[in-house]
Amino acid sequence: MRLYFVMPFVQGGELYQVYQKEKRFNEVTVLFYAAQIIQAIGYLHDKQIVHRDLKLENILLDHTGYLKIIDYGLAKMLKDQEQTTSFCGTPEYLAPEMVDYSGHDKNVDWWAIGVLIYEMLIGVTPFFNPNRNQLMKKIQAAKVVFPDRKKYKIEYSDDIMDLIKGLLNKDKTKRLGA
């Protein structure tokens, strides 16, 4: 017996490939992509699905510039107020409640969106550390730090900083999207 997955060809490839060429996106582009991701995750959550592995590599870009979220291998059906304790996903995008095994719900996707927005805008994930243990500690305890705009020649508004901080709230009950 064989199982086949069939999906339409998506000409633009992975958003990660485009990101690698650009190194980071301007704020208008980030907001355009973020709006699409937020809408898609809202739809999944309405259907009781939590993705749990949002990252640039799991987002495809079509020929018109619109996104498609892929790779539902770690997705899980979760009813409202239901939690799970499985540890899964890409380390840089894990929410604190997943790292400390305290139980997670759909809010892990909102956290991952915050990480995605920060990464697309700044050029690195917010808690990046090559040492996995240090990365996990930073996810649990470190504040989100934004690089100096002038020094690094990165333009971003206070509004997008507020959006990112709201999505990266360590308290999942106060996280934007909760």
- Please write down the HEC assignment for all residues of 3-16: CCCCCCCCCCCEHH
Find the range with the poorest average confidence among 47-51, 52-56, 79-83, 104-108: 79-83
CA distance 44 to 106: 10
Q: Average pLDDT for residues 91-106, to the nearest whole number?
A: 95
Q: Is 53 a catalytic residue?
A: yes
| Confidence tier at 7 by pLDDT (50, 70, 90) | confident
> Minimal CA–CA distance to 139: which of 131, 130, 147, 128?
128
- Tell me if 108 sits within 8 A of 48, measured CB to CB: no
**Marked catalytic residue, from 46, 53, 62, 105:** 53
**pLDDT value, residue 106:** 96
CATH of 15-167, one of 3.40.1280.10, 1.10.510.10, 3.30.420.80, 3.20.20.100: 1.10.510.10
H or E element at residue 60 = strand 59-61
The whole-angstrom separation of Cα 89 and Cα 66 is: 24
Q: In this predicted model, what pLDDT tens digit does every residue of 9-67 receive, in sequence order? A: 888 889 999 999 999 999 999 999 999 999 999 999 999 999 999 999 999 999 998 99
Q: Where are the domains of the chain?
A: 15-167
CA atoms within 13 A on the CB side of 2: 3
